[in-house]
């Protein structure tokens, strides 16, 4: 998986903006993925609940906008699939985190990262790490010092 993510990072080093989408348990993971990308690669990134995509973020989607979608197989799968179809209709580049063996989303996403199947409530545990690795590898490709991100403290010393 790490090799796949490292390869993807080379493709998306050019990007100036990213959108991260997740539904249910995956929404906070989308926020975390966007936060890590901002913190260490200095690329503008926003996490959104996928259900809210039509209320703003959809206006930003074009051929230059990478959209990371957490699309594991769970109770919201069909709705996430619909979100991906909306993104593709606007020529957006979809990077999907999906469950291993998913043949539906893997066919329509531009890039996919396969993850093992798990309980829906445990999805955040297996989806967070690939997003952190993506941010890490993009930052490394851009020549950033991932151990000393600018304007961030390793510990809080002032309230």
Pairing mode of beta strands 93-99, 66-71 = parallel
Give which of 99, 79, 63 is closest to 23, Cα–Cα: 79
61's CB contacts (< 8 A; 6+ apart) are 19, 67, 87, 90, 91, 92
Phi, psi of 19 (to 5 degrees): -120, 135
Q: pTM for this structure?
A: 0.93
Pairing mode of beta strands 66-71, 44-49 = unpaired
In a domain, 126, yes or no: yes
CATH code, 90: 3.40.50.10490
- Domain with 127, as residue range(s), is 2-141
Question: Per residue of the chain (159 residues), what is the pLDDT tens digit?
Answer: 789 899 999 999 999 999 999 999 999 999 999 999 999 999 999 999 999 988 888 999 999 999 999 999 988 999 999 999 999 999 999 999 999 999 999 999 999 999 999 999 999 999 999 999 999 999 999 999 998 888 776 665 666
In a domain, 129, yes or no: yes
């Amino acid at each position: 998986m790490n090799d796949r993510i490292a390869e993807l990072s080379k493709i998306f080093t050019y990007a100036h903006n990213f959108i991260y989408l997740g539904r249910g348990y995956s929404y906070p993971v989308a926020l975390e993925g966007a936060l890590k990308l901002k913190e260490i690669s200095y690329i503008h990134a926003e996490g959104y609940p996928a259900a809210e995509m039509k209320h703003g973020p959809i206006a930003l989607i074009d051929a230059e906008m990478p959209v990371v979608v957490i699309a594991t197989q769970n109770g919201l799968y069909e709705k996430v699939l619909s979100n991906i179809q909306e993104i593709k209709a606007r020529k957006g580049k979809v990077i999907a985190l999906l469950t291993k063996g998913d043949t539906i989303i893997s066919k329509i996403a531009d890039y996919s990262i396969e993850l093992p199947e798990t309980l829906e409530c445990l999805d955040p545990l297996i989806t967070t790490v690939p997003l952190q690795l993506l941010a890490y590898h993009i930052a490394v490709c851009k020549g950033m010092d991932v151990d000393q991100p600018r304007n961030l403290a390793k510990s809080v010393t002032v309230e």
